[in-house]
Structure 1
Amino acid sequence: MMSYVMHAASSSARGGTLLTARLALQYKLACNTAGGTHHAFPDAGSGFCIINDLAITTRVLLQEALVQRVLILDLDVHQGDGNAFIFQDDPAVFTFSMHGAGNFPTRKQISDMDIPLPDGTNDTTYLRVLGEVLPSVLTGFRPDIVLYDAGVDTHMHDSLGKLNLTDKGLRRRELQVLDTCLAADIPVAGYVGGGYSPDLTVLARRHCQLHRAAKEMWDSYGLGQPSHDP
């Protein structure tokens, strides 16, 4: 049974995810300090995820006709199985999951694009694969917004990881994703996703890579003026 505290926290995170997407549509780039609960299914939670905030945000944006196409870019170490299941027959949503092949969930769903990586994948291989695939997805699908699940459980010292990204690799990944989207003139909303460490200070530093990269891209692209009302 879900406690009141858990429900309140999940609901707040869900609202933050939607607000972040609205701000990204307005300013081209926005990031949240939560979000990315990609394992939750329509009728059940899974993998520490109670409510699927990315799916709800996607549905709202489409229903309000703020966008016509949404790309959910999931770079958490765990496959975004909830999103893959929810949007499996929806041509307006492209689910992209690059994840550890040998990690949770045991039973994978079918995303529009799945890139399973072997245990121990390092910075060089990871960033090369991402760089080869992401631009073509953006060009082919032409999303109106990218919802980016920037899980840091890809880190080499993550408690539930199995991949081998370094701090430098995580930073390069965030810069690469944001720069690729913004260069294509596609708004991007970033969410911290998963990350597991007994040292919360270390974990917070890893999550902050997204926000530091966003600040750098914000300055580099001269963002700050709303592109249109959400």
Structure 2
Amino acid sequence: MLAVSAPAERPPEAEPSAASGIVVDGLTKQFGGIYAVRDVSLECRVGQIVGLIGPNGAGKTTLMNLISGTLTPTGGAVYLDGKVVSATSPAACAEAGIARTFQNIRLFKRLTVRQNVEVARITRRRLARGAEKAPSVDEILKLLGLDGIAEAKAGTLPYGHQRRVEIARAVALSPRVVLLDEPAAGMNEQESRALIGSVQLIRDRFGCGVIVIDHDLKFIMEVSEYLYVMHLGEVIVSGIPDEVRHDERVIEIYLGRKARK
């Protein structure tokens, strides 16, 4: 049984001052007198897949917005490769090496799948970062199973395919860390299982870290190497998936009952 961890606990084998990947240190966001995120600390090393789970309203997407520069924190900081990236801007975070997808899909719906990915490649070239390991558009499309629909208009695709296009566009930025907000939403079980392999391939091929939010617990338990559980704006539990799934507080939050002894 995993003991409930303090928010500042780090994953095994990681140093608090780790210079390769994202370190979130005591991040807080207030809206008036309400804490949307409170003293959250977590870490995702380059080459690691980290899951973030919690019920609706737990603060997961707000945390993603803070990490990616969409929101400015009230307190705490976000470090990427040892440098502060919080309280900057989405453009500055992208330039530093943070790419993301959104809970609400934001594609160029009148452009083809290929054109959506090419736009991201143009942005990467402008940033002049990651050129030595930059994947081709064709490689990205094949990696995410989109090569067969590359010339289709993005707005005509089923929801699950649009999710994959968003991920492909994020990967085309050659990021150090990718933030995936509900990537399995709208996918059936077969598509979700295929997505697990795609996320792992992204990590292996491009050597980036991946932080995943999803309500599909089966998906996120299988894809993640380490998990953080949020509730009411705070991290209440962290650990490897097998430990987290048997934690009493996690069971109570999701199922509304105590775990059996």
TM-score tier, shorter chain, comes to: 0.3 to 0.5
- The normalised TM-score by structure 2 is 0.36
More strand by share: 2
Give 1 or 2 for the bigger CA radius of gyration. 2
TM-score with structure 1 length normalisation?
A: 0.39
